[in-house]
Amino acid sequence: MTTPVTAPAPAAAAHRPSTPGPATGPGAPGGVPPGDAAERAAWLENLLGDPDDPHNPHGYKPLLDADDRREAPAATEALLTEAGLTAEFVPHELGGRLIRPDLLAQVLRPLFRRDVALGFGHGITSLFGASAVWAAGDTAQREATARVLLAGGRTPIVHHELAHANAILRDEFTARPTPDGGFVLSGRKDVVINADRADAYVMYARTAASSGPRSHSVLLLDPEQLPPGGLRRLPRALTPGMRGSRFAGLRFTDCPAGPDTLVGDLGDGVPLALRTYQVNRCLIPATVVAGVDSVLRFAVRAATTGRPAGVPPRRWHTVLTGVFTDLLACDSMAVTGLRALSLLPDSSHLLAAAVKMTMPDLLREDLEELSTVLGAHGYDRGPRYGGFQKLVRDLPVAGLGHAGTAACQAVIVPQLPTLARRSWFRTDEPAGRLFLPRAPLPAFDYRALTLTGSDDVLTASLIGTAERLAPLRATSDAWAALADLADAFVQEMRALREQCAALPGITHAALVDPRVCALADRYALVLAAAACLGVWQGQDGTGTFLSDPAWAVLALTRIGRRLGVPVPDLPENTTKAVLEEVLARYRDHRSFDLYDTQLAG
C-alpha cells in the first residue's frame, strides 16, 4: 500500500537536491564502467564532458557540425563503443548490464541530453530489435544476439506494417514458409535505421496470406549467413531530422532462410510486438525528456544572461516554471511506467500505451513555449543555442521509430468498458515503491511481459491519495490546492467510469470514433496526474524539493487545464518557489528531472 501523507512541520526545511548524484563519475574516461546504474550515468556524463566546451570533441559544436554534414559524430561513436554502451541492452544473465528498464533510461540520459539522434542511432534501436529475442528467442538465439551487442554490434528492427503513412513504418516483408520449416523472404523497405551497417536484423515479416493476430512472425537474420543475391542493401535515405543517423533500405528477393531464424512460434509477430513495445513506449519518452531538459537550460540561459542577480524577467517566469514542472510530470509518468514493467509485468501495457499517447504532445508543447523565451536565439545554429533547432528537427523522426499514437489507442480503447465496470474504484493501490525512482525492484525479464492483467493501479493510487489529502486542507493554501486538484481528477475518473461503462461492444469502428478516442486521451491525462501525485507522495517527509507541494500543484494545474477540469488559483509563492529551484539547478549544473543529478560543466 502507498504510505500515508503527512502534513509538514510548521517550520519548512530548506530545500536540498532531491536525489543527488555524485559530482564526478567513479571511473576515469576510458575505464571500466561501474556497476551501479546511477554511477554509470555519472560516469558516462563525465566521459562525454562539458557540452558547452568548444574544445570538447563530444560537445555541442562537433555534434552540430556532424549533423550539418549529415554524418554520425565519429569520435563520439568511437567513445561510446569503447565504453561498451551496447552492453546496456543485453540482459545481465547473458553477460550484459540490463537489469531494469528504468535504470537503463537513467544511464542513457547523458547521451540523449546532448544528441537525441545519436541516442537512437548508436543506442536504443538495437534494443528494440533485440527485445523480441530476449522475450521469445531460444538459448542459441539469445546467446548469439548477446555476442553481437557485447561486441559493439547493431541489431536494427525491421518493422511490420503498422498502418502509418511514413517511410519508416511503410511497406513490409513476406516470409513464405517452406516444407523444411524455413522461409523464402521477399519485399523491400526504403528506410531502416542502420540497415547498411547491421550485424543482425530482427524482421517482422508476414507469414500468412490472411490478416489477423497470427499473420506475422519474427525472424533473426545474420546477413553473413544469407546466400549471395538474396539481400541487397539499398542506398542511404536522407531524412529532415536525425540527419546524422544512417537510414537505408533493404530488398530481399527470393532469399532462403533456415528454420533456426524463427523467433518463438510461427505467427508470434503481433503478440511479440504488443508485449515488447511496452518497453519502447516508455523508454523513448523517458530518454527524450533529457533532450528537452537541455532546451530548458538554453532558455534559462537566454532569459538570465545579463540580468541582475541572474533572475529572468517576470514575463518568462510562468513559461520556465511551467515547462520545468511539465518535465517532472512527464518524468513521473515515464519512470513509473518503466518501473511497472518490473513490478507489474502482467498489467503494465495500459500505462505504457498512455505514456506514449501523452508525453510526446506535452513535450512538443513545451518546446513551443520555450521558443518564445529563446526568441532569436532559437534560430542560432551555433553551439550555444543550436541544440534547440536540432531537437525540433529530430523529435518528429525519432517519434516514428516505434508504435505511434493510433497503435496505443488500439491498446487502450478496447479496455475502457472493462476498466470502468471491473477496475476503477475497485482495484487496490500498488506498493509505494512503484513511485520511488531509487527504490529496489525485482529484476526485469522480457519473458514475463503479458497482456493479461486488467487492473488499473494508478487510478487506485490517485483515489487513495485524494482521500488522504482531504483532511489536510487546513495545513496551508498549497496543501488545500493539492487536495482540490486531486479531488478534481477523481471526479474526472467518475465521469469517465460512467461514460466508458455505457460504451457498447468495442468494434474496429470505435478505434477511429473521435468520441471514444477522446475518452482514451482523457484517461491517459488522468494517469499522468496519478503518476505525478504518486511520485510527490513518495517523497513526503524527505525535506527535498520534490516533497514540496508547489511543483505538484503547478504540474497538476497544467494537466488539469489541458483536460478541462476545474483547477484552483495558484497559491501565493507557488511560482516563486518553483522558479528558485529552476535557477538553483541551472546555476549548479543539475538536471531538471526527478533524479536531480550533477552534470558536467
Do 130 and 201 belong to one domain?
Answer: no
pLDDT, residue 54, reads 92
- Is 601 part of a structural domain of the chain? no
Does 13 have pLDDT greater than 50? no
- When pLDDT is averaged across residues 160-165 and rounded to a whole number, the result is 43
Would 599 be classed as within a structural domain? Answer: no
| 378 neighbors 371 (Cβ within 8 angstroms) | yes
Is 432 inside a domain boundary? yes
> Is the confidence at residue 22, as pLDDT, over 80?
no
Residue where a domain stops, chosen among 225, 248, 266: 266
Averaged pLDDT, 214-238? 94
CA angle, residues 577, 580, 584, in degrees to nearest 5: 145
Tell me if 531 sits within 8 A of 486, measured CB to CB.
no
pLDDT at 17: 34
Mean pLDDT of 142-171: 74
In tens, the pLDDT along 49-63 reads: 999 999 999 999 999
Is residue 341 one of the residues assigned to a domain?
yes
Kindly report the pTM of this predicted structure.
0.92
Q: At 179, is the pLDDT very low, low, confident or very high (cuts 50, 70, 90)? A: very high
Whole-number Å distance between alpha carbons of 1 and 572: 33
pLDDT (0 to 100) of residue 596: 97
Cβ atoms 585, 601 nearer than 8 A: no
End residue of a domain, out of 150, 175, 203: 150
Tally of domains within the chain:
3
Residues of the chain above pLDDT 70, percent: 92
pLDDT one-digit tens code per residue, 512-549 = 788 999 999 999 999 999 999 999 999 988 999 999 99
402 and 541 within one domain: yes
Same domain, 257 and 275: no
pLDDT of residue 31: 54
DSSP summary character for residue 206: E
Comparing 2 with 461, the larger pLDDT belongs to: 461
pLDDT of residue 505: 74
pLDDT at position 363 over 70? yes
Grid cell at residue 515: 468520441
Residue 446: burial class (beta carbons within 10 Å; 0-12, 13-18, 19+) = buried
Considering the domain architecture, whether residues 71 and 201 belong to the same structural domain is answered as: no
Q: Where are the alpha helices (DSSP H) in 151-268?
A: none
Q: What was the pLDDT predicted at 163?
A: 40
- What is the arithmetic mean of pLDDT over 427-439? 96
Please check whether residue 474 is in contact with residue 480, taking contact to mean a CB–CB distance below 8 angstroms.
yes
Residue 184 confidence (pLDDT): 98
pLDDT value of residue 432: 95
Q: Quick one: average pLDDT of 468-488?
A: 97
Pairing of strands 247-257, 231-237: antiparallel
Q: Are 451 and 278 in contact (CB under 8 A)?
A: no
Q: Is 427 domain-assigned?
A: yes
Contacts of residue 431, Cβ cutoff 8 Å, sequence gap at least 6 = 1, 2, 343
269-304 and 101-114 are packed helices; what angle lies between their axes, rounded to 10 degrees? Answer: 50
Domain for residue 6, yes or no? Answer: no
How many CA atoms are closer than 13 Å to the CA of 200, on its beta-carbon side?
29
Nearest-angstrom CA–CA distance, 533 and 537: 6
How far apart, in whole angstroms, are the C-alpha atoms of residue 64 and residue 58? 10
Are residues 255 and 352 located together in one domain of the fold? no
Whether residue 134 is predicted with pLDDT greater than 90 in this model: the reply is yes
| Buried-state track 61-79, b at ≥16 Cβ within 10 A, e below 16 | bbbbebbeeeebbeebbeb
Question: Does the pLDDT at position 403 exceed 90?
Answer: no
Q: How far apart are CA 577 and CA 445, in angstroms?
A: 41
- Given this model, what pLDDT does residue 3 score? 54
322-342 pLDDT tens trace:
999 999 999 999 999 999 999
pLDDT attached to residue 509: 73
Query: Which tens digit of pLDDT belongs to each residue from 228-240?
Result: 999 999 999 998 9
User: Which residue in 382, 205, 198, 247 sits closest to 302, CA to CA?
Assistant: 382
pLDDT tier for residue 139 given thresholds of 50, 70 and 90: very high
Q: What is the CATH number of the domain that holds 182?
A: 2.40.110.10
Reduced to 3 states (helix: H, G, I; strand: E, B; else coil), residue 216 is strand
Q: How many CB atoms lie within 10 A of CB 591?
A: 26
**What is the per-residue pLDDT for 49?**
97
Give 53's DSSP letter: -
CA proximity to 181, closest of 136, 132, 217, 134:
217
Residue 11 clears pLDDT 60, i.e. is over it: no
pLDDT value at residue 564:
95
Confidence class for position 10, pLDDT limits 50, 70, 90: very low
Query: Do 452 and 352 belong together in one domain?
Result: yes
Q: Which structural domain, as residue segments, surrounds residue 364?
A: 271-587
User: Is residue 135 a part of any domain in this protein?
Assistant: yes
Question: b/e for 396-418, b at 16 or more Cβ within 10 A?
Answer: ebbbbbbbbbebbbbbbbbbbbe
173 - beta bridge partners? 187, 205
C-alpha torsion angle, residues 456, 460, 462, 465 (rounded to 10): -160
| Alpha-helical runs (H) found in 210-348 | 269-304, 317-343
Q: How far apart are CA 493 and CA 491, in angstroms?
A: 5
Q: How far is CA 436 from CA 14, 331, 443, in A?
A: 21, 12, 16
Percent of the chain with pLDDT over 90: 81
Q: Is 254 strand, coil or helix?
A: strand
The answer to whether residue 510 sits within a structural domain is yes
Q: How confident is the model at residue 4 (pLDDT cuts 50, 70, 90)?
A: low
Same-domain status, 224 and 302: no
- The pLDDT value recorded for residue 172 is 79
Residue 590 is given by DSSP the state B
Report residue 499 CA to chain centroid gap.
Answer: 30
Same domain, residue pair 323 and 392: yes
For CA atoms 440, 359, 203, 198, the dihedral sign is negative
**C-alpha grid cell, residue 494:** 467518475
Residue 295: the pLDDT is 96
CA dist., res. 299 & res. 318, Å (int): 13
Question: Any residues with CB less than 8 A from the CB of 168 and at least 6 apart, and which?
Answer: 159, 191, 192, 193, 247, 397, 400, 401
Mean pLDDT of 389-400: 81
pLDDT above 80: residue 349? yes
DSSP letter at 517?
A: H
At residue 7, the pLDDT reads 52
DSSP-H helix ranges across 375-441? 386-399, 405-412, 416-418
CA distance 78 to 56: 14
Q: Do both 163 and 134 map to the same domain?
A: no
Q: What is the pLDDT of residue 32?
A: 60
In this structure, the answer to whether residues 261 and 366 fall within a common structural domain is no
Section 186-197 average pLDDT? 92
Same domain? For 368 and 383 the reply is: yes
Query: Per-residue confidence at 29, pLDDT binned at 50, 70, 90?
Result: very low
Do 121 and 245 sit in the same domain of this protein? Answer: no
- The chain-wide mean pLDDT, for the chain, equals 90
Region 222-249: what's the mean pLDDT? Answer: 93
Domain boundary among 244, 266, 288: 266
Distance of CA 588 to the CA centre of its chain: 26
Tell me the CATH number at 144. Answer: 1.10.540
